[in-house]
Structure 1
């Protein structure tokens, strides 16, 4: 990243941070709620909508006056927003489901998608658990910049605050998207797409009645939400289309794996399972992998060889680049033949 881009990221982060801190103190509310208000108003410059005291209104107005959307590209804005959300998580001590997918992982997911869809003029994406939208916007920006594809983007999120953050982030980045503020498992009327991607929430889905009709539901007790979301997502992927999901590395070693594997047979091809570096996780049990699924139909077939492996440390650039070359070779010689 250029020095100019880094300076711009810091500059826009300061706009978000300074404004949020003023609003937080003025309204005696969380940093996150204040950031949501800032993201909602910074582009329009509508300081009056914040309903602040006169001195605070003047202070925020002066900060907003330093921001001109046309001076920034989408990636700069995304990274600054990401920094502000990370600060909100730290300041407000927010629970783990607000954690943002690291850019290193988002870049790998984007790289995988770009390799498979290089040469396509149009591509549609869906994230069934988009959170604050960081993974979806990071990949969208990467695909636009790397393979110049025209994108159609959709995302689903049930959490109020995360949905508002995502919606404002998309708007600021000028990424047109169809966003659904709903519970994915209640079968949202989402569009059919070429690619589903998501950093899936892990754990049990609490409302058993909503899982009726899902093949991956548990026969006893609550069902795994990540299994349900994989099924939902792939049901919204076109024939021959792909799904890229961040899942627990041990996804096939749990007692619930039987239902997932049973559903997969005849519905999707497991084309790859790539463990992410252990250094990114607090322990082996929390390690995640990128699962690559492909829907049947549309000329799709099981790859000659399933891509299995573990990414080397992202810090070891030589080994990392070598692994990416191996992925390129696999896509060319095994997956897309």
Structure 2
């Protein structure tokens, strides 16, 4: 067993055991107690924490979260974004934003903060200001504890991500969009992607919120259902995207990451229009191959590089 593995495993074990013992003491959910366990390590077990790299820490958190999911039923939107998705998304942010030394990155419906943490891990040469917006009070607290545990700065806003947001324009918006209906019709009626009748799709409204939050010519990197451009209200979405953005890419994530085709997700990359700056591009449509297949992945990289050369030279 390598030294590096053992630190990550030690850290995971401490988090896992502490989460469970706190849960027995206070009866709060395991997710909530994982936050408290990270805080415990951060304040009481500095020696172990300081031996761990950022990647060790993030992986220990990820494994601890996955471990508690086996014991506690959580709703679908409480699942964390797998690091394979977070790392590829981070890599794409890096490719599109390569001329930025610092960036304001907003994560809408940020959950426990794992997507932001994975992106941070990739963008080591860029100063990132993270703004996380999460309505669930338990998850927003966990993301504050995660930021301390990783020792990276997150500003966490515990609010509904579809309500007006309290910060300046972002360079980048990332989001693993929660799928479903948004119950607050008064709010969705104010929005271009709200439906005239019945509840609107929260994932549509979050796409609009992402574009609203960006500064002109900024980019949104969104994890969306692969079938997002099928079904009833799709014209409304397509018109919005065509009017407000230059669509850049629609990339299907590897099949192997999902239970079935229905559950499959893709990465939608949009650039907010800016007069005399943004221009239409040939949208990059591709399948991201399984990361375990280096040969195919190299092919995808080549395709991406050629597309970047033609469209963003």
Same structural fold, with TM-score higher than 0.5 when normalized by the shorter chain: yes
SS in 2 for 1:292: strand
State the match for 1:99 in structure 2: 79
- Offset of 1:29 from its aligned partner? 4.2
The answer to which of 215-224 and 20-29 deviates more is 20-29
State the match for 2:110 in structure 1: 130
Alpha-carbon distance in 2 for matches of 1:127, 1:26: 33
Within a 5 Å distance, the mapping from 1:160-309 to structure 2 comes to: 160-297=137-274, 299-303=277-281, 305-309=282-286
Q: Computing the radius of gyration over CA atoms, which structure comes out larger, 1 or 2?
A: 1
State the match for 1:90 in structure 2: 70
Which digits, 9 at most, give the CA deviation of each residue in 1:266-303, with x for residues without a partner? 21011110111222222212211100100111611111
SS in 1 for 2:259: coil
The answer to whether the aligner puts 1:21 opposite 2:20 as a matched pair is yes
SS in 1 for 2:271: strand
Residues 240 and 297 in structure 1, CA contact (< 8 A), matched pair in contact too: yes
Alpha-carbon distance in 1 for matches of 2:104, 2:215: 10
1:69 and 1:306, CA in 2 relative to 1: closer, same or farther beyond 3 A?
same
Q: TM-score, normalised by structure 2?
A: 0.94
Alpha-carbon distance in 1 for matches of 2:4, 2:77: 29
Q: Matched residue pairs, number?
A: 312
SS in 1 for 2:162: helix
SS in 1 for 2:91: helix
Alpha-carbon distance in 1 for matches of 2:26, 2:147: 26
1:207 and 1:142, CA in 2 relative to 1: closer, same or farther beyond 3 A?
same
Q: Of 103, 114, 131, which aligns to 1:154?
A: 131
Q: Of 117, 123, 135, which aligns to 2:97?
A: 117
Residues 109 and 175 in structure 2, CA contact (< 8 A), matched pair in contact too: yes
Residues 217 and 259 in structure 1, CA contact (< 8 A), matched pair in contact too: no
* Aligned Cα root-mean-square deviation (Å): 1.7
Runs of 4+, deviation exceeding 4 Å: none
Alpha-carbon distance in 1 for matches of 2:156, 2:30: 24
